[in-house]
Amino acid sequence: MSTLVIVESPTKARTIRNFLPSTYRVEASMGHVRDLPSSAEEIPEAVKGEKWAQLGVNVEADFEPLYVIPKDKKKIVKELKDALKDATELILATDEDREGESISWHLLQILKPKVPIKRMVFHEITREAIRDALTHCRDIDNRVVQAQETRRILDRLVGYTLSPLLWKKIAWGLSAGRVQSVAVRLLVCRERERRAFRQGSYWDLKATLTPPKPPAKGQAGAFDAKLVTVGNVKVANGSDFDENTGQIIAGRRVLLLNEDQARALLARIQNKPWTVGNIEERPVTRKPSPPFTTSTLQQEANRKLRLGARETMRIAQSLYERGFITYMRTDSVHLSEQAITAARSCVQELYGSEYLSPQPRKYTTKSKGAQEAHEAIRPAGSTFRTPQQTGLDGIDFRLYDLIWKRTVASQMADSRQTHVTVLTQVEDAGFRSSGKRIDFPGFLRAYVEGSDDPNAALEDQEVILPALKVGDKPNCKDVGAVGHETQPPARYTEASLVKMLESEGVGRPSTYASIIGTIVDRGYAKLIANALVPTFTAFAVTTLLETHFPDLVDTGFTSRMEQTLDEIATGEAKWLPYLQKFYTGEMGLATQVKEQENQIDAKVARTVILENITAKVCIGKYGAYLESENEEGQVKASIPQDLTPADLDPEKVDFLLKQKTEGPEKLGLHPDTGEPIYVLIGSYGPYVQLGDVSDTNKKPKRASLPKGTDKDSVTVDMAVSLLTLPRLLGTHPDTGSKVQANLGMYGPYVVHDQGKVGKDYRSIKPPDDVLTITLDRALELLAQPKAVRGSSKTATPLKELGAHPESGELLNVYDGRYGPYVKHGDINASLSKDESVENFTLQKALDLLAAKEAAGGGKSSSKSKKSTKTAAAKSETATEKTAAKKTTAKKTTTAAKSETAAKKTTTAKKTATATKTKKETKSS
């Protein structure tokens, strides 16, 4: 007697095999084995002549879907059928969400088993969970299957009805989607706000004060104070400005200081006495956040680990299938009693009973549509392995660590803090100082939630003010005038877009990763410095849909659609009447497209009108371009790919058009060849060119400007140096292969080119320069380990200890993979398990480092030691580290424009192919 168990993936199959008796055979379906046809090639001959066949849904026969087995799944289906022949029982053990239920149903339809069938579900892959699931099998839930089928049909109808319209009216290869198009519109609306934004400026004063008496050892000393009132009138700050005018919001009674007024006030209060006028202490209690759902995990992984939603889900899927975490597609924040017990046990063992919440915390999901799974994302099992006990490394370790900390923190005590506000007065100017004292860290000992606001990174740091009382006369150590400019609304990151979609009830969190991926893949947005920047194509598509199909890009309409789909799953709504009304009804999608198609002018649809820009922005076959009329007729000029819609201003438009009509700007002559050197702006940004394009010189030598270099600051000498790139620095002493320095898409780099063996890259960071870097320095960089994607930026110390008495370097305690540690130069020394960070002193650090050094704890490479001690290594910034991560992760030379152009061509071909096969709606 044997039982066949079918799951989705080989990894999941391997893990489950370990927990089942030898009579069980576990096989993988490799995801869906059946779907709507993705190309004309997959449509069966019997229905190819039907007008609905291309759609894959027979809208005239109760929306009957046309399911086919894709070519790449036929072998898998055959293997599953063969395996079933030897089985006396079939268990369908696909995931417990709608998608998993649908896969099981399709397997049933294809395999047509004649043996008993069971549906087994579980939300974690552990021995206990699998054995328990075997004893609690059920039937396939047909209502859930119907809801998923309705969702799939609806997405196909939207995508396959609107996408061809976009091909005709705007550009081939575009796609529309039920959720995708709404998400794109959110990005476009934010970019419109940035274009409409008008900057405002204001000034204030900032002072550094010290208490009237020197502070005792261990007490706070100097503290900051910011100007808030003058003559009892509030001083204007950024929140008082209207973003559309750059002026103070009408009706606000505030004092707007300009530079002259601020400096006059500064002069007036110089050397005048300061007095503490009021002190306010406000106790604040903070509770821990609930454990992760799919959405919150994607948001936090983006904020803290800089992972995209798609990559987060890929890593989480792997952790789940290997038995490390529970199921990662869930809207629920609920924890089982087993999980609560495991989390509280971790708190008790690692932090002590004082850090436990008095009662177990039980979280409930408020969203009615939270039906994906029954529990939050948490470490798997009845006891939680600490991250160090898992054996994981790299980004797997970091994501598990995030999940573990969030889950454990959810059962910890509240954080108790005291917020302190000190108001000081000098003449008629009022200043405010804000402090925060953490009276009891509670859950913050384990986990601090991230924020979409980059300035909020300091939110949970303690800011201790000195002991003051009303009437004290603090000393003014320094005071200065500070100018500010208001900033445009921040673009969406993946985290903030996911948060917005979820808050608006648009789509399902389990689909956000694929939707954002599709938006980027299809050219609707670019990911720049973790921000999703919409393209001009996104503007054109959004405008067309807003004008002719407003409901489909309205968040409220899409949210109501999502609610109806959830109601179908619970039996509260009927699927067929809903589809009929949506698609073939009097105001249905098919009807609207038929009516609107002839009214849409393709030329108008391909044109993006931007305020303050006299030229038109048009979408062409090779990207966006400017179109303008002058005395000689029509002028067209390509828009550089890195120029965003919000940054296209009249000055840039004039330059691009002038370059097209009057030719490139001549910088000077090359000192050796006498050829002219030009500064131009092309599709990939500004660059210099040696010589003219001619029949004999069709591809003149060109070199991109370093990122951040303004074209107006380029000199002849700089251009000559750039035109020497790539620079051959010499040969590598170990391999004899050449080492070069060059500029690429992600900045300057050195490369060790070993031919067929491969190329090894490292980013060049300031103060090193691509034009002057030497072979020795390049070898030092190449000897350093590559940056790991998702690794942390400059670490925030857990505690600052003071300066090293010999080197003067600041010694701090950091949170490391294996616990707190102290660092000096290239020596890292871990604190003992019974040593608390709070009580750790500078002297203890010096003793610990001395012991580690005596034991040979430094790094072995003398070159590494030397480079570690350089000022360059000490002053690495977070931005530079991010650039290094990108360069390492991408492993791309991007050295020559020909390579970039080749990539562009390849991408275009892929897009066209993807469009041809019409797979767009599957990820919507």
Phi, then psi, of 218 in degrees rounded to 5: 90, -10
Catalytic option among 202, 327, 400, 625:
327
- Which residues, at least 6 apart from 18, have a Cβ–Cβ distance to it below 8 Å? 127
For residues 379 and 405, is the Cβ–Cβ distance under 8 A?
no
Q: How many CB atoms lie within 10 A of CB 448?
A: 19
Which DSSP string corresponds to 472-500? Answer: ---EEEEEEEEEEE--PPPPPBHHHHHHH
Rounded to whole angstroms, the Cα distance separating 615 from 611 reads 10
- Beta strands at 24-28 and 3-7: parallel, antiparallel or unpaired: parallel
State the Cα angle at 45 between 44 and 49, rounded to 5°: 105
Rounded to whole angstroms, the Cα distance separating 888 from 894 reads 12
For residues 635 and 657, is the Cβ–Cβ distance under 8 A?
yes
Q: Residue 296: helix, strand or coil by DSSP? A: helix
The tokens describing 881, both together, are 């580290």
Burial class (CB in 10 A: 0-12, 13-18, 19+), 348: middle
Rounded to whole angstroms, the Cα distance separating 888 from 302 reads 19
Burial class (CB in 10 A: 0-12, 13-18, 19+), 63: buried
Q: Residue 915: helix, strand or coil by DSSP? A: helix
- In what helix (H) or strand (E) does residue 64 lie, and over which residues does it extend? strand 64-65
For residues 480 and 270, is the Cβ–Cβ distance under 8 A?
no
Tell whether the torsion through CA atoms of 29, 35, 37 and 39 is positive or negative.
negative
Cis preceding-peptide flag for 726 (omega within 30 of 0) = yes
Rounded to whole angstroms, the Cα distance separating 510 from 570 reads 19
- In what helix (H) or strand (E) does residue 91 lie, and over which residues does it extend? strand 89-92
State the Cα angle at 215 between 211 and 220, rounded to 5°: 80
Q: How many CB atoms lie within 10 A of CB 75?
A: 10
Q: Please indicate whether residue 447 is annotated as part of the active site.
A: no
Which DSSP string corresponds to 768-817? Answer: --TTT--HHHHHHHHHSPPPPTT--SSPPPSEEEEE-TTT-PEEEEEEET
For residues 498 and 295, is the Cβ–Cβ distance under 8 A?
yes
- In what helix (H) or strand (E) does residue 603 lie, and over which residues does it extend? helix 602-605
Phi, then psi, of 851 in degrees rounded to 5: -65, -40
For residues 912 and 173, is the Cβ–Cβ distance under 8 A?
yes
Burial 787-811 (b: 16+ CB within 10 A, else e): bebbeeeeeebbbebeebeeeeeeb
Tell whether the torsion through CA atoms of 104, 105, 109 and 114 is positive or negative.
positive
- Of 90, 68, 71, 70, whose CA–CA distance to 81 is shortest? 90
Q: What is the 3-state secondary structure (H, E, C) of 318-345?
A: HHHHCCCECCCCCCCCCCCHHHHHHHHH
Q: Residue 672: helix, strand or coil by DSSP? A: coil
Rounded to whole angstroms, the Cα distance separating 514 from 157 reads 18
Active site residues: 327
